[in-house]
């Protein structure tokens, strides 16, 4: 386990703002030490501190500083926007510690916003089909999960929701189930005050959010184990 998370450096967000004006490898290399000290190293500490906490709580989410964080460099090969650097840094904690696993905690620290999400994001086609089928076949379980999220101050996002019911689900008549079946992802988010990322209490904020979002994790995991027939 790495160092315990003590907070992002006070220069974390100012560095990301400055990066927007200095989109060059030369500037980044000149300021790499600041990036490492204020952002990358604390983010690694955060991932590994959360891994330890989640392990103790049995949440089934883990990561490490090498595999869990996304690069700050952008893949510009097929992008119209050729700026080489993101103005954010992010990481995923997942059941197996990889970025490709499903049912994850995503943490994003950026100039535009800071947030965390518990997500079944772009689930593989067979899992998405199973989730949609479970909503229809076992509606009480879906509604119980949604109610539990609401009781915990959370809601499911409607991000990128389909306009129409997908093929095979055209007969779903109940409004709440129809909305759910049209989801392409199953996500709940927590907005983070950037002022709160600079101390160890940020760990407690993320642990609290993940516990409140656990009904969504549990719902998806149950479907993985026992998909509708």
The pLDDT tens digits of the residues spanning 31-55 come to 999 999 999 999 999 999 999 999 9
Residues 121-141, mean pLDDT to the nearest whole number: 97
Beta bridge partners of 85: 73
Residues 190-216, mean pLDDT to the nearest whole number: 98
Mean pLDDT of the chain: 96
Residue 3's pLDDT band, with cuts at 50, 70 and 90, is confident
Q: Give the pTM.
A: 0.95
The pLDDT tens digits of the residues spanning 67-109 come to 999 999 998 888 788 899 999 999 999 999 999 999 999 999 9
In sign, the C-alpha dihedral spanning 140, 144, 145, 149 is positive
Instruction: Check if CATH label 3.30.930 holds for domain 12-225.
Output: yes
Other C-beta atoms closer than 10 Å to the C-beta of 200 total 13
In this prediction, residue 1 carries a pLDDT of: 56
Residues 6+ apart with CB under 8 A from 79: none
In sign, the C-alpha dihedral spanning 182, 115, 190, 208 is positive
**Is the CB of residue 48 less than 8 Å from the CB of residue 2?**
yes
Residue 2 has pLDDT above 70, yes or no: no
Q: Which two tokens stand for residue 215?
A: 């009904």
**Residue 71 backbone dihedrals phi, psi, to 5 degrees:** -70, 150
Beta bridge partners of 89: 109
Residue 24 has pLDDT above 90, yes or no: yes
């Amino acid at each position: 386990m790495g160092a315990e998370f003590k907070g992002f450096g006070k220069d974390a967000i100012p560095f990301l703002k400055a990066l927007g004006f200095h989109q060059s490898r030369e500037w980044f290399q000149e300021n790499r030490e600041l990036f490492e000290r204020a952002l990358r190293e604390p983010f690694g500490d955060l991932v590994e501190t959360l891994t330890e906490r989640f392990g103790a709580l049995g949440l089934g989410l883990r990561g490490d500083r090498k595999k869990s964080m996304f690069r700050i460099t952008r893949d510009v090969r097929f992008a119209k926007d050729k700026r080489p650097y993101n103005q954010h840094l992010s990481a995923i904690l997942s059941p197996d510690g990889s970025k490709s696993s499903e049912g994850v905690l995503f943490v994003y620290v950026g100039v535009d916003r800071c947030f965390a999400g518990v997500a079944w994001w772009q689930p593989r086609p067979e899992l998405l089909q199973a989730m949609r089928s479970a909503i229809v076949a076992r509606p009480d379980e879906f509604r119980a999960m949604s109610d539990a999220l609401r009781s915990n101050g959370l809601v499911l996002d409607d991000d990128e929701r389909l306009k129409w019911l997908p093929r095979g689900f055209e007969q779903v008549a109940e409004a709440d189930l129809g909305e759910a079946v049209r989801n392409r992802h199953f996500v709940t988010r927590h907005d983070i005050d950037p002022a709160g990322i600079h101390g160890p209490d940020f760990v407690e904020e993320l642990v609290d959010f993940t516990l409140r979002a656990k009904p969504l994790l549990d719902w998806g995991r149950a479907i993985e184990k026992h998909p509708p027939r």
